[in-house]
Structure 1
Amino acid sequence: MPITIDAGDIIAGFALAMSAYATWRTTSFNEKQKSLIESQEKLNNLLLEKEEGEALSDKKADLGAFFVKLGSSKYRLKIWNKGSATARNVRLEFPEENDVLIGSDIEEKFPLESLEKFQSVELIAAVYMGTKSKHVIRLVWEDDAHDHNEKLAYPTL
């Protein structure tokens, strides 16, 4: 029994081949689309983390301290807020002894109720020949991000 191929068989074979090709293309397109969706999801998560980080940094104060020399023999300790938020209830602690700042000046100004962004406060420093050049100061404050922040500052003369 010979096999005869007529026009309907050719058309059916062509339709089967086209259907297989379309299925293959759809599967490959779906894989690419799935990969794209995963990439977009990763990007969205990274953007969300970045935005959350920026929102948190907008609520943070960042305090620092350094000595300023005025003239030839006068010094001041400048404490400033370089963060984005207001620091509240700012306090100074001295892990080592305080032999350079005047106690009455500290008591008069601290605890400081608030220290706005880019605002600073100066304390009078009594520098003499035997004063060590490096000091340790613990800055303690509250801000919108946390109720207790602290930072060690090492100002030098």
Structure 2
Amino acid sequence: MTRSTTIRSLGTLVQLRSTQVERLEADLASQEATRVRYQNNLDRLTALTHGSGASGALVMNPALALNCGAYKQDVMALADSHRIDLSLHQANMAVSQGRLKDAWVGRELLGKVLARTQDAHAAENERATRKREDDIATQSWMAGRTA
């Protein structure tokens, strides 16, 4: 495999890794939007729970007090369910962040390998060019010396 083929292959790998990083970043942004929605829902459910007042204050009408108590219990149960879902979602986000970090590191490492390979190839070409120029200069000098 020639050095230029290796450079092309490494360039393709870097592009693929960049695409993977971009895809993981987009996925993480989507997960963050979902996390914000969960958090906003929890805030609203908490406000509903506190806004419904004390169910014991409605002693004049026991059916109304019972209804208010059941409502608050249902809202609190829904909030607890959302908290569990949010914590699971945050755990998934942590895994996604780890994948993103690994993909980013992989892309950076491949990029450094590509840069080193390109530098070595450029140095090799420069040496070959200098050698040709030196050979031509030597031949010219030798031709001028014998003439």
Give the TM-score of the pair, scaled to structure 2.
0.41
Higher strand share: 1
